[in-house]
Amino acid sequence: MTTPLHDRVPEFIRGIDPYRPGKPIEEVERELNIRAVKLASNENPLGPSPLAVEAVRKHVAECNRYPDGGGHTLREKLSGRHNVPRENVFLGEGSSELIDLAARILLKPGEEGLTAEGTFPSYWIAIRATGATLVKVPLRDYGFDLDALARGVTPRTRVIYLANPNNPTGTMFSLKEFEAFFRRVSDSSDALVVLDEAYCEYVEGEDFSRSTRLACSSPNLLVLRTFSKVYGLAGMRIGYGVGPADLLREMNKLRTPFNTSSVAQAAAVAALDDAEHVRRSVESNRAGMKQITSRLEAMGVACVPSFTNFLLIELGRNSKEVAAALLRHGVIVRPMAWMGFPTAIRVSVGTAEENARFLDALARVRSGTLEGSKV
């Protein structure tokens, strides 16, 4: 072989900064030989809905069969839930798959994908993986600067990614702000707007975007949702998009034939019926958020007000070192340098006990009272 295969991988792929997931809890427990808490991936600390667990038990017995590749039952259910036709609903292996497919279906070298700095890195990866140009607009006050984004649209822009609320800052924009942005973009461009609402269930208040209706009546809006957050099914890998049927038909050609498992589909159907679990999860998150923010305030630590199940905490110190010191106390959080915040960590809201463990560890790390923990 004259050229190593690695050198044949296109430069735009070799140059990608890979997604850095939260450290798995088992790995930390194995390495440190202590009981760890994971507050690193914005999961639901209460677990999945009991109805979903029951559905999984039932369906796993039939997993010798391939799943319904079209996900008929779940799409039917989601179509009723959002009051949109079934052909406007697309199931994915997590909403991550839809983030990727939206870029793959529309972008090619020479074109542009637009999003923000300080947002979910999967958008950056999806755009760059197509060979198109990634254009990032700075955040304003930790939130999406919709005005700057609209100004960033060029004749080459094909996809625009927005997260509402945003990860990792937890900020949101209102429905009115989104509609003004969307009108402006749609008037001047035919780019697809991908509106990622992964954390929408945690937002309280009426002026949030929740745009699934708008998505099936607009030719250029795709709204993403997931079962990984409030529904507690992150390990099942299932999410969905609501968008224009003709675009979804094309995306359907690119996905693998059985992208969502029968067990995941059944769990999602059951989870949608468990309104009580969602209510309890949101309530627990509200209490946990209060527990964390009031203690941070007492410690004099700044954080960005959050509409989600996580908080961006500004420590004014190297975030990798802080996260490493917390890890030594068995608390897994995410250093945020790679998302653009070199002195901040992101912590997910856990159970009251997990939150207390994080807060105690943070206080110790800040005061440097434990050996080796000074940062």
Ligand X SMILES: Cc1ncc(COP(=O)(O)O)c(C=O)c1O
Does the footprint of ligand X cover residue 325 (CB under 6 A)?
Answer: no
Q: Which pairing describes strands 331-332 and 192-196: parallel, antiparallel, or unpaired?
A: unpaired
Alpha helices in the chain (DSSP H): 5-8, 11-14, 25-32, 50-60, 72-82, 95-106, 121-128, 146-152, 175-188, 212-217, 245-254, 262-273, 275-299, 319-328, 352-367
Q: Please say which residue, 123 or 358, places its beta carbon nearer to ligand X.
A: 123
Does the footprint of ligand X cover residue 194 (CB under 6 A)?
Answer: no
Query: What string marks each residue from 236 to 275 as x (binds ligand X by CB under 6 A) or -?
Result: ---x------------------------------------
Stretch that binds ligand X, among 5-13, 90-98, 150-158, 335-343 (CB under 6 A): 90-98
Residues 5-64, interacting with ligand X (CB under 6 A): 42
Does the footprint of ligand X cover residue 67 (CB under 6 A)?
Answer: no
Lookup: tokens for 199:
């954390």
Does the footprint of ligand X cover residue 96 (CB under 6 A)?
Answer: yes
Q: Please say which residue, 96 or 285, places its beta carbon nearer to ligand X.
A: 96
Place of tokens 């507690």: 232
Stretch that binds ligand X, among 56-64, 88-96, 187-195, 285-293 (CB under 6 A): 88-96
Q: Do 246 and 86 contact (CB within 8 A), yes or no?
A: no
Return d(Cα 307, Cα 19) in angstroms, integer: 24
Return d(Cα 34, Cα 328) in angstroms, integer: 9
Among the listed residues 111, 112, 196, 201, the single contact to ligand X using CB under 6 A: 196
Does the footprint of ligand X cover residue 198 (CB under 6 A)?
Answer: yes
Q: Please say which residue, 232 or 330, places its beta carbon nearer to ligand X.
A: 232
Q: Please say which residue, 36 or 264, places its beta carbon nearer to ligand X.
A: 264
Q: CA angle 16-181-119, nearest 5°?
A: 30
Does the footprint of ligand X cover residue 163 (CB under 6 A)?
Answer: yes
Cβ neighbours of residue 262 closer than 8 Å, sequence gap 6 or more: 59, 62, 63, 65, 66, 67, 68
Q: Do 313 and 302 contact (CB within 8 A), yes or no?
A: yes
Q: Please say which residue, 36 or 163, places its beta carbon nearer to ligand X.
A: 163
Q: Please say which residue, 75 or 366, places its beta carbon nearer to ligand X.
A: 75
Does the footprint of ligand X cover residue 167 (CB under 6 A)?
Answer: yes
Query: Quick one: which of 336, 316, 331, 344 has its CA closest to 373?
Result: 331
Contact footprint for ligand X (CB under 6 A):
42, 94-96, 120, 163, 167, 196, 198, 226, 228, 234, 239
